[in-house]
Chains A and B, each alone.
Chain A
Amino acid sequence: MAERSYTSREELDQYGFHPGVTVLAPVVCILLQAMLPKTFPWLLHLDLPLIATIFFAVSRRSPIAGAVTGTLIGLFQDGLTNHPFGVEGIAKGVVGYVAASLGFAVDIDNAINRATLVFTLSLCQSGLLYLIAHWLLGETSYQLLPVGELLSAVANSLVAIPVFYILDRFRIRD
């Protein structure tokens, strides 16, 4: 078994969360995502559950935990749509896995790194959703709108900075 040094990034930056925060934070994100567009329709371009997925994945530094967290959040989101269960689940599961894997190599406390990570993974998720819709569901009418996806990614990365800052307060160093 490989011996890990105490100062490895994984050990140094690995955080945990109170179970209440682990459950409530994604639920609040999903609730806000469902309620805010009723008053502000343009907020549909945001994806707060995606931001929560990325935050928990990069904080825990565990790809498996990231994938499971992303899958559960995605499945919860699927429950509110008219899509079959698994569309958002697969996309967010993969995003959680990739975010946790990237978290080893990136300093997640840096705001620019966080914004870049969210921007990239937001585009990744759009691509995954497109592939799922086309290949798995056979929805040929599903279109990938590059400008719209870019704007969504920018909005997500901008909103992620304050959201990460708030969620940072609930981190517990393992």
Chain B
Amino acid sequence: MESFFTRLKNPLVLIAIVLVQVIALAMQVQRPARDADGPAGGAAMESEGSAPDGQEVSLLRRWTVTAIAPLEAGVQISSSKVRGLWHDYVDLRQARQQNMALRNEVARLREEEASLAEDAAQGRRLQRLLAFREQYALTNVAAQVIGTSGSERSHVLYLDKGSADGLKPDQPVVTPDGVVGKIRDVFPHTSQLLLINDPSSGAGVILAVTRIRAIVRGTATGQVQIDDLTADSRIKVGEPVITSGGDLVFPRGLPVGTIQSIAPDPLHQPYTAITIKPAADLNRLEEVLVITASSATLPPAAAQDAATAEATAEASQRAADLVARKLPGLQPSAAAAEAAGNGAAGTAAETKGASRGSGAGTTPAAPDDPESQIGGLPGVANSGLPKPRAALHTDRFSPGATLPATEMTPGGQPESPGRAQGQATPGHQPDQQPQQP
């Protein structure tokens, strides 16, 4: 037995090492940490890799990042200092060699020009960041990218801001060009940014022209794709894609990118693979904005839109009131018109509900009103079937317009519509008049 273990010591050790890691992998995959009050919409579209780690795993990752991040930040700072030292040294040499007038002067001016160009470029980037902040009125934190995951399979970047700066997991990260990703994990002075082209990433979007909602995901090859739409001739290459806000992570209306190509997805028929060209250059990110909170005050453009919508809603309300006063026969539908008027300023879902109400022509019955139900348990709401509503224009097909079968005589003439209309039926309210042309 001893010789067996001695002989197979090496493979047994390897098997033990691999086995331990496989078990550790299984435990990590089985128990992903889910933030209990996290965004439900976002959770539905994200996979394992975008979720924060469990407590033990998070501790390990914190140690790793704590070991590497200061080195990265140190290299970043020292490299900029070395660059400054180099420039100063060159300047000093030029100061000492002023007798080599023109050639050195030209060289120095060229260097200055390059330096100024760099400063100007940085200034422009910061100016755009500032303009973006003003435009969207969002509370945000500017952060600098200090490193990557170092793996082509993991599209993760490290930022120089962490929980000490108010960053939290699932906060969206953007640039003035567009959406970049979201914060995955936060450490005291560093945070992990999950890019939108990572396979575990996802975001709710709207195609800006066709107003089709979809979900963008990253692919294994680092592309950004929509793969939950079937073929649609209205969707064209070049159409802008913006965030929908439905994932409860990214604010609505931020640019995501433009459609680069549309092709059938051979693995998931009948869906199409719509490749998005990200608006932000995900490969060359330097400064980013982490949106920490939405501001309570709207930006001027949005405030103007809201005022216009409110004025439209008021006008609709006045028109509905006027119609209700002049045409009392339409009074039951006035409430629906009112609802439709309010819906103009409200959300799309609210508008949809209001139009359904006005289409019926009556005030919708309360769902738990026992008088509006047939059968069911006494005192138990919604346990029976809904009663059919009275029709505005009754005919022989309307509920209650036809005589019961017991009162019909074989060969008898059918009742005239006028009589049917005048007859009080269980589903017909006597005070309701047919609409006059």
Q: CB within 8 Å of B: which residues of A?
A: 27, 30-31, 33-35, 37-38, 41, 44-45, 49, 63-64, 67-68, 71, 76-90, 93-94, 97, 101, 129, 132, 136-137, 139, 141-143, 145, 148, 152
Contact = CB atoms under 8 A, between A and B. Distances in A.
A44 B200 contact: no
Contact of B21 (A63, A86, A148): A86
Interface in B1-47: 9-10, 13-14, 17-18, 21-22, 24-26, 28-29
28 contacts: A27-B71, A31-B68, A34-B72, A34-B148, A34-B149, A35-B75, A38-B147, A38-B148, A41-B284, A64-B9, A67-B13, A68-B17, A79-B60, A80-B68, A80-B147, A80-B150, A81-B156, A82-B154, A82-B198, A82-B200, A84-B48, A86-B25, A90-B18, A90-B25, A136-B29, A141-B219, A141-B220, A142-B199
A68 B154 CA distance: 23
Given A79-B65, A137-B48, A35 B72 contact: yes
Nearest to A63: B10
A70 B79 CA distance: 30
Contacts of A49: 150
Nearest to A100: B10
B147 A34 contact: yes
* Among all A-B residue pairs, the 8 with the closest Cβ atoms: A79-B64, A81-B154, A33-B150, A84-B28, A86-B21, A41-B283, A34-B150, A44-B152
B29 A94 contact: no
Given A93-B17, A141-B220, A80 B65 contact: yes
A87 B25 contact: yes
Contacts of B60: 79, 85
Interface in B60-105: 60-61, 63-65, 67-68, 71-72, 75
Contact of A44 (B61, B65, B148, B199): B148
B221 interface: yes
A43 to B, nearest CB: 9
Nearest to B12: A64
Nearest to A42: B283
Given A31-B68, A79-B65, A93-B21, A137 B199 contact: no
A38 B155 CA distance: 12
A159 B184 CA distance: 32
The secondary-structure label for the interface of chain A is helix
Given A30-B68, A34-B148, A86-B24, 10 more contacts: A64-B14, A78-B64, A79-B63, A79-B64, A79-B65, A82-B49, A86-B28, A93-B21, A97-B10, A141-B199
A111 to B, nearest CB: 26
Contacts of B156: 80-82
B145 interface: yes
Contacts of B29: 84, 136-137
B50 interface: yes
A41 B286 CA distance: 13
Given A41-B284, A44-B148, A82-B149, A145 B25 contact: no
| Residue from A67, A76, A143 whose CB has the most chain B CB atoms within 10 Å | A67
Interface in B211-261: 219-221
B118 to A, nearest CB: 14
Contacts of B26: 136
Contacts of B199: 139, 141-142
B122 to A, nearest CB: 15
B72 to A, nearest CB: 6
Interface in B191-205: 192, 194, 198-200
Nearest to A44: B152
| Residue from B48, B68, B148, B199 whose CB has the most chain A CB atoms within 10 Å | B148
